[in-house]
Amino acid sequence: MINLLSNPKKMPCYGFNIPAFKYCPAAQLLAKIKSKAKKFICDSCYACKGFYTFSNVKASLQAKADLITKSLHQDNGQTFVDAMCDQIRAKYFDKHGNKKKLKTKNTDLFRVHDSGDLFSPKYISAWIRICEQFPTIRFWFPTREWKRDSQLPHLQKLASLKNVCLKPSAIYVDEPAPQVDGLDAGTSVYTSQAQAEQDGHYVCPATIEGNEPTCQANNCNLCFIKGCKKGIAYLAH
Q: What does residue 202 show for φ and ψ, rounded to 5 degrees?
A: -85, 130
Task: Please report the pLDDT score of residue 37 as a whole number.
Answer: 79
- Which residues of the chain, if any, have pLDDT below 50? none
Task: Please report the pLDDT score of residue 47 as a whole number.
Answer: 77
Task: Please report the pLDDT score of residue 142 as a whole number.
Answer: 98
Count other C-beta atoms under 10 Å from residue 120's C-beta: 19
Angle at 5 between CA 204 and CA 229, to 5 degrees: 30
Task: Please report the pLDDT score of residue 205 as a whole number.
Answer: 97
DSSP string, 102-135: -SS--TTEEEE-SS----SHHHHHHHHHHHHT-T
Give the integer Cα–Cα distance in Å for 147 and 129.
Answer: 23
